Chain A
Amino acid sequence: MSRGRRAVVLSVSLAVLLVGGVTASAVVGQLAISPAEVVGSVLRAAGIRTAWAPDDSVIESTLWLIRFPRIAMGLAVGAALAVAGAVMQAIFGNPLAEPGVVGVSSGSALGASVAIVLGLTALGSGTIAVFAFAGGLLATLLVYAVSRANGRTEVVTLLLTGIAVNAFAGAGLAFLLFVADSGSREQIVFWQLGSLNGSRWQEVVIVAVVAAVGAVVAVILGRRYDLLALGERNARHLGVNVEALRIGSIVLVALLTGAAVAFVGIIAFVGLVVPHAVRMAIGPAHRPLVIASAFGGAALIVLADLLARSVVVGADLPIGLLTSLIGGPFFFFLLFRQRKRSGGWA
């Protein structure tokens, strides 16, 4: 199958997954709501009156205060993480780079936890987000500075750096857990596991804006990321200002990851699995890759969240647990394949 035809197939399947996942998420839950009622409620909000619109105010509030913000948050977080992964792989020149694996997510979580434990609210409700961003940025810069040599990052170096950063952030989190009061402690545990439970519209707006802007910027930079695949020197010879691109992209990754982690905690492997699957389907060109990854990430998180809250009746599993459950073996498979292909761990 040609890449063009695959692109069509991928777009259609992503659209089906997204619409199906969103609808199922709105319908499934402790309170049974029919798809017709969901559609009717949405249409009513858009100013169109239909016979489907639910009369029950409990259904209305369940949809608009609980399910819809949760779904929207899932879409935004999924898109943000998948785009962050694609960008990170481009600037590291390594398909195994991912915010969760190399420690950007735990850096963000550490930053957020510091804000919680110290009770910092200087910048209003966005304080935690700002701290998450700062933590993520620091971690990204650290990994970037340490793990690169000659414009590329070897797998071993990248993973070892990730281990070190994750260990350090883990120690920081453990220390904060130790000194925190029980309220903060609960919040930190929530950050480490990741959950979309209790998402609010104000938070959704922040993540959605960051995800949308980030994705647009990544698409604009897409051509340059393609050139970066030729190696840093060749990209420079082709007129790319590599240093500026690098720094800008690191900030972009930290922003996307920080925004996502600030409100839903660590959800690992999305940035690894999604761009990889997309690349296998339509090839590595970054413009289509970033766009498809954004939609793919959104679909993945919505479906994973649906699973997380329906697989055990009456319980809300942490979504980070689910993504890692799938992502861990997938990562192992990728490592194995890359080792076989290149005849070593380089």
Chain B
Amino acid sequence: MNIDARDVRVELGGVAVLDDITLTVRAGELLVLVGPNGAGKSTLLGVLSGEIEPRYGEVLYGQRPVGGIRHAELARLRSVLTQENTVTFPFLVSEVVAMGRSPWARTEAGRRDISAVAAAMEVTDIAYLATRRYTQLSGGEKARVSLARVLAQETPVIFLDEPTASLDLRHQEDVMRVGRRMADEGRAVVVVLHDLSLASAYADRLALISDGRLEALGAPVDVLTEERVERVYGLSVELHVVAGRPVVVPRR
């Protein structure tokens, strides 16, 4: 399923935090949203996932406006990994992951609950944590469990808001590999990332957001140019292309 955002404008207290955004997220692609702090990446993710209602413009899931889709159905179309992932009560890791299956209760796909949970825990490398309490995990473990919960939801569209924050180098790569795999399975995957090199390595397309506007959209190699990165981030950088993918190194 494709997602179309058309002429989206979001205002906060009368000030535009996103403006003039038109983009299509295609099924089967990994789209990474990059940009400086406060540029509006998370807001755009919120608009695309139907959490934030734009002041102007519209977001379509297939042909349907996202605002017109009921909570329960929307949860079977898209899953969202938020940055904040605290759990109030001491649920077990396996219980937390299984919560991702709740939108499918009383549906045909509900039969896949057990295998979907097992698969999600396998992919995120948390099977050994199954009987631990979520509240006792380290930050990195919590992040992976939350990702597993999102994957267990098995939706055609997946949104990940900074999934690599608080993860070590290997698990960062693992998460992006998982995202890549989901896209290859035909899902639409939208990820917010800060690391430009990591984004370039895995993304089909990059959307560079600056000051609430879509600065550039396209293949990493086309979007990330020295001139553009320096202008948007206000930092002088050196750009290398390794195996067709840009690697960004600040000049120090």
* B-binding residues in A (CB < 8 A): 3, 93-95, 152, 223, 226-231, 233-234, 236-241, 279, 283-285
Contact = CB atoms under 8 A, between A and B. Distances in A.
B50 to A, nearest CB: 9
Interface stretch (B21-29, B67-75, B115-123): B67-75
Contacts of B80: 233-234, 237
Nearest to B75: A239
Interface string B52-88: 0000000000000000000111111001101011111
A240 B49 CA distance: 15
Given A241-B71, A283-B90, A283-B92, A227 B51 contact: no
A283 B82 CA distance: 25
A246 to B, nearest CB: 13
B87 A233 contact: no
A93 B92 contact: no
A234 B75 contact: no
A239 B71 contact: yes
B102 A239 contact: yes
B174 interface: no
B103 A231 contact: no
A233 B75 contact: no
Contact of B49 (A93, A95, A230, A237): A237
Interface in B155-197: none
Interface stretch (B5-13, B93-101, B201-209, B211-219): B93-101
Contacts, number: 73
6 pairs of A and B residues whose beta carbons are closest in the complex:
A239-B75, A284-B89, A239-B72, A237-B80, A229-B88, A239-B103
Nearest to A243: B71
A237 B92 contact: no
Between B75, B76, B88, B153, the greatest number of chain A beta carbons within 10 A of the residue's beta carbon is seen for B88
Contact of B90 (A227, A231, A237, A284): A284
Contact of A237 (B79, B88, B91): B79
B105 interface: yes
Contact of B82 (A3, A237, A240, A279): A237
Contacts of A229: 87-89, 91
Given A237-B80, A239-B71, A239-B76, A230 B102 contact: no
Given A227-B99, A238-B100, A240-B71, A233 B90 contact: no
Interface residues of B, number: 29
B100 to A, nearest CB: 7
The secondary structure that dominates the A interface is: loop
Given A236-B51, A238-B102, A226 B74 contact: no
Nearest to A240: B71
Given A95-B88, A284-B89, A285-B91, A237 B75 contact: yes
Nearest to A95: B89
A283 B153 CA distance: 23
A1 to B, nearest CB: 13
Nearest to B86: A231
A231 to B, nearest CB: 6
Interface of B: 49, 51, 71-76, 79-80, 82, 84-92, 95-96, 99-100, 102-103, 105, 149, 153
B168 to A, nearest CB: 24
A93 B102 contact: no
A226 B90 CA distance: 11
Given A231-B85, A239-B71, A283 B91 contact: yes
B84 to A, nearest CB: 6
Between A226, A228, A237, A239, the greatest number of chain B beta carbons within 10 A of the residue's beta carbon is seen for A237
Contacts of B85: 230-231, 234
A40 B74 CA distance: 59
A51 to B, nearest CB: 52
A14 B245 CA distance: 64
Given A233-B82, A237-B49, A237-B51, A223 B87 contact: no
Given A238-B153, A239-B72, A279 B89 contact: yes
A26 to B, nearest CB: 37
A93 B92 CA distance: 17
Contacts of A3: 92
B136 to A, nearest CB: 10
A322 to B, nearest CB: 28
Given A3-B92, A95-B89, A239-B76, 8 more contacts: A93-B88, A152-B88, A234-B82, A236-B51, A237-B51, A239-B74, A239-B102, A285-B95
Contacts of A239: 71-76, 102-103
Contacts of B87: 229-231
B103 A238 contact: yes
Contacts of A233: 51, 80, 82, 84
Nearest to A229: B88
18 contacts: A94-B88, A223-B102, A226-B91, A226-B95, A227-B102, A228-B88, A229-B89, A230-B96, A230-B99, A230-B149, A237-B79, A237-B82, A239-B71, A239-B72, A239-B73, A239-B75, A284-B89, A285-B95
